[in-house]
Chains A and B, each alone.
Chain A
Amino acid sequence: MLPYILRRVLQMIPPLIGLTVILFVLLRIGGEPVAHLVRPEASPEEIALVRAAYGFDRPLVEQYVRQVSRIIVGDFGTSVRFRSPALPLVLERLPATLELTAAALLVALLVALPVGVLAAVYRNSWFDFIVTITTTVGRGMPNFWLGLMLMLVFAVQLRWLPASGRDEPLAVVLPAVTIGVSIATVLVRVLRTAMVEALGHDFVRTARAKGLRTWTVVTKHALRTSLISVVTVIGLQTAWIIGGSVVVEEVFAWPGSGRLMLTAVLARDLSVVMAGVFVFALFVMVINLLVDLSYSWLDPRIQYA
């Protein structure tokens, strides 16, 4: 197991290098940032001086290497807006984002596991039919709009839950349900398909034949093997979930890294934007690593050499 983990961690290095190239290219698309650093009426000599001071006169490859060496020590530059280093700004808001993501995942599993299992066990029933329609509609629904609608009903009309912020403990409910439901629509479909297949397997028939109760067969035997596809899809969807949660954070004024990144985009605070992209991409990579590692735990037949 340990050699596998090591190899898998090493495999993250090329995409990380790719990421630094993308960030470098991105910053360059906007032209040299000298314009922001000098007075509008600066003379050519002054501009040349500033260029030299920031190293913009060096070859691009050298500039890239310098940028990478700064990224390695976590230096993404200084936020123009907050006048402090960019990375810590992103990291100090990360716990709020992680809390929201974890709560959303919990909601997704609480909804998707029973619904997916029941839809598979009672397939082609009216329940299955309603589930199919609901998940199809859910696939088309932008999650920030679902958030607005939930806010309209539960915060504005019924006044059951806080509409925004993170001051009250219940404030996490609406944004977590918003993101969780959109994850669940995908998970239900996958789980239903996997369960239908698993219920047709020989080992399930054997379990039934030896007289186990239906419920035990479904949860202990069929569900266990179906969970692999659920976990795989969670891994594949991570990037999409994280992207969507940025918008949901904005809708509910949730003070996480996503919202920070949005305000940074609006203010064109590039160091914070780049630090945000880096942290989110790293987060996606780590989740995918965990997903890969969870396979052998879920299905002991899968062994890592």
Chain B
Amino acid sequence: MREFLRSTRRSMTSSGLLGLAIVLTVVVCAVLAPTIAPHDPAQHNLRMRVLPPMWLDGGTAAFPLGTDQLGRDVLSRLVHSARVSVIVGTLGTVVALGIGLVLGTVAGYFGGAVDAVISRVLDTFMAIPFIILALAVIAVVGPQRGASGVVLLVVVLGVSGWADFARVARGETMAARTLLFVESARALGQRAGVILIRHILPNIAAPIIVLGALQVGTVIIAEASLSFLGLGIQPPAVTWGTMLADGRGYVATAWWLATFPGVAITLTVVGSVLLGDWLRDALDARSR
């Protein structure tokens, strides 16, 4: 572990640091949203409708990024939106990672008919665009409100996004399977489950973790897209996607409503991508 930390420090590049800083900021916003947001994100204030950001004429420091068509504070809504993105982004990735890891390692380890079946399923899921599959599931189940809406999105995005994890886990397991200590463990008569968890999993963890860091960004964009289309998180819950959907109608009159949520999404995803790229380089360097 100490060795890992040392190599981590050595290879911590400026872009990796930037990514880490962005991701930490978003997570802090998500956790402390009620404390750091200057206003209640749902507070209507009809006298303060459609105020521009503070640096423009008519803007006020009380609403640094302006207000929307109902007089709600844009900054507070942005900060609160981080919650849904962080929760859906991480849990959606964890679900996808879990499904992909189990199916991929099983296919790679046992090979034969098991591999053939899982691989065909994999081919099928690779051919269906992520968002389109998610749309189809939502069409059948219907968009949900409140907490069950978040659960639905996590499940939908997890079930639609596992294919990449399974593909990588399968390939890595097939390679790890031929390692000498895995073969000896098998020769000693250890059970497949034990070998998979004790010996193979630690050896295939690195690429899976990297893929996970990158997938968080993909899931966040997918959540934003679905919420933007009115099929994800439902109002009154606030997310960057629903903010964009609201702001879309005011593109001509209040540009900030459709601009800031997009900046927030872009920054967050870039942060997780930079972190993922850095993780990949760091873990590569360690194995070299």
Contact = CB atoms under 8 A, between A and B. Distances in A.
A246 B120 contact: no
Interface centre among A136, A137, A148 (most CB of B within 10 A): A148
Interface in A20-39: 22, 26-27, 29-30
B127 A142 contact: no
B225 interface: yes
Contacts of A140: 217, 265-271, 273
A270 interface: yes
B126 interface: yes
Interface centre among B139, B217, B225, B258 (most CB of A within 10 A): B139
Interface in B217-261: 217, 221, 224-225, 228-231, 244, 248, 251-252, 255, 258-259, 261
Interface stretch (A100-108, A149-157, A225-233, A291-299): A149-157
Contacts of B132: 242-243, 246, 261, 276-277, 280-281
B141 interface: yes
B274 A136 contact: yes
B221 A142 contact: yes
Contact of A136 (B230, B252, B273): B273
A279 to B, nearest CB: 10
Contacts of B278: none
Contact of B244 (A137, A148, A264, A281): A148
Contacts of B125: 18, 22
Interface centre among B138, B225, B252 (most CB of A within 10 A): B225
B225 A277 contact: no
Contacts of B70: none
A172 interface: no
Contacts of A22: 124-125, 128, 133
Contacts of A14: 120, 123-124
A273 B123 CA distance: 21
Contacts of B266: 137, 140-142, 145
A247 B126 CA distance: 19
Given A139-B270, A261-B132, A148 B139 contact: no
Interface residues of A, number: 50
Interface string A162-180: 0000000000000000000
A273 B138 CA distance: 10
Given A30-B140, A152-B251, A242-B129, A142 B225 contact: yes
B136 interface: yes
A261 B217 CA distance: 25
A156 B265 contact: no
Contacts of B171: none
B17 interface: no
A19 interface: yes
A95 interface: no
A92 B103 CA distance: 38
B24 to A, nearest CB: 16
A262 B266 CA distance: 24
A268 interface: yes
B130 interface: yes
A265 B139 contact: yes
A204 interface: no
Contacts of A146: 262
Nearest to A258: B132
Given A142-B224, A281-B124, 19 more contacts: A17-B120, A22-B124, A136-B273, A145-B224, A146-B262, A152-B259, A239-B127, A240-B130, A243-B132, A246-B131, A250-B229, A262-B229, A264-B139, A268-B139, A268-B142, A273-B139, A273-B140, A276-B132, A280-B128
Interface of B: 15, 120-121, 123-133, 135-142, 217, 221, 224-225, 228-231, 244, 248, 251-252, 255, 258-259, 261-262, 265-271, 273-274
